[in-house]
Amino acid sequence: MSAAPILPGAAIGILGGGQLGRMLAAAARRSGYRVHVIAPGTATPAGQVADEVHDAEPSPELLRGLAGELSVLTYEFENLSAAAVEAAAEHLPVRPSPHTLRTTQDRAREKAFLREQGLPTAPFEAVTGGEAAAAAVQRIGPPAVIKSAGLGYDGKGQARVDSADEVAAVWPSIGAEAVVVEACIDLAMEVSVVAARGVDGSFAHYGVTENRHRDHILDLSVSDAELDPRTSEEAVAIARAVGAGLDAVGTYCVEFFLDGSGRLMVNEVAPRPHNSGHLTIEGAATSQFDQQLRAVCGLPLGSTRRLAPAAMVNLLGDVWDAGTPPWAEAFRDPAATLHLYGKDAPRPGRKMGHITVLGDDRQEAGRRALELRNRLAPHVVS
């Protein structure tokens, strides 16, 4: 296939209809591209801003049929049919590649890849079945976390156990036979590196972001985590190695645990834009979504220069528990931007939107972001 750049006027296919697809579609349309969203539903967040919506699960037959209408195909989440993506790749560029998707959509394969690359992770074993999981907990040493190998996100499909004897009780909640058993660590901080890799192997990154979670779901991200400079350099070097090892093309994210002794361990890899990178929309010269567009279209990567310290706070469904939030409050801060994703039904734990705040320093930005969310929903515990 030609490696020539894909230029405005061309059609980009996005597999998935969620908020990441919505923000990528908005970036693409702003730059003059046409966007096809391929996902079940006619009013999905991404479909609301697309040129064409294909209301169907991506299948090999559908993607082969659409190949003649598209110049490139990308995706906004990993829970896809790898066979369908591989079928599409026979007819047009798919970026990131089917290999990248297959590796990152399964925790066992992803952990094996990280181990093969010599990259640091918490001690883990990939096993099948409850009895094997209990034995792995015994070998690794409790406490441990059992995670489904596939289809898990935002804390779903996982459970912590404090002894091997507890595995049987939590096993039904895992929802899968193939699992990864991972040692719990002395967690000091969770951080991420959102980066991008071009068709030519070029690399760009947005520094190290500090992430704070609530009920296993990202709550607050603040730019430029306060780390030893050597630790920050190591995180970026690992992110670069992950991208090279996967031969990734596009924006991707490497999530890390930092333990009490200052050691970094890779938690997960997301082969697409990431929740912790939303602050780049207002906080960087090139957002993670414009960067994804540039990368998958074979164009030069954009500048990741930080425009100002930035923080992002998620708006989950519980913000609506007391009724429609008082949205005027979100606009009282002149350096805040409200993003709503166009989802119809707020539910506990469902990501409905986010607020980004720019500040004079990172602590101030983080504090103001939480204050704004608290004005919208005083009942939500920060």
pLDDT per residue as tens digits for the range 163-201: 999 999 999 999 899 999 999 999 999 999 999 999 999
pLDDT at 152: 60
Classified by CATH at the fold level, domain 123-183 comes out as: Dna Ligase; domain 1 (3.30.1490)
pLDDT at 151: 67
Domain ranges of the chain: 11-94, 123-183, 187-376
- Segment 315-333 mean pLDDT: 96
Weakest-pLDDT range from 49-53, 124-128, 153-157, 163-167: 153-157
Each residue of 359-368: b (16+ CB within 10 Å) or e?
A: beebeebbbb
Share of the chain above pLDDT 90, in %: 94
The 10s digit of each residue's pLDDT in 127-137 is 999 999 999 99
Are β-strands 34-38 and 11-15 bridged in parallel, bridged antiparallel, or unpaired? parallel
Are β-strands 144-148 and 158-161 bridged in parallel, bridged antiparallel, or unpaired? antiparallel
| Fold agreement between 123-183 and 187-376 | no
Select 187-376's CATH number: 3.40.50.720, 3.30.470.20, 3.30.420.40, 2.40.10.10.
3.30.470.20
Q: State the pTM of this model.
A: 0.95
Task: Let me know: does 45 contact 76? Beta carbons within 8 Å.
Answer: no
pLDDT at 2: 44
Cα 29 to Cα 8, 11, 21, 284, 367, distances in angstroms = 9, 10, 12, 19, 33
Class of domain 11-94: alpha beta
In 35-106, where does DSSP find H-type helix? 60-66, 82-89, 98-104
Confidence category of residue 1, pLDDT binned at 50, 70, 90: very low
The 10s digit of each residue's pLDDT in 239-298 is 999 999 999 999 999 999 999 999 999 999 999 999 999 999 999 999 999 999 999 999
Phi, psi of 71, deg, nearest 5:
-100, -25
pLDDT at 154: 58
Structure tokens that stand for 125 in this block: 């074993």
Are β-strands 250-259 and 187-197 bridged in parallel, bridged antiparallel, or unpaired? antiparallel
pLDDT at 3: 73
Per-residue pLDDT at 217 exceeds 70: yes
- Segment 148-154 mean pLDDT: 73
When the pLDDT of each residue in the chain is averaged and rounded to a whole number, the result is: 95
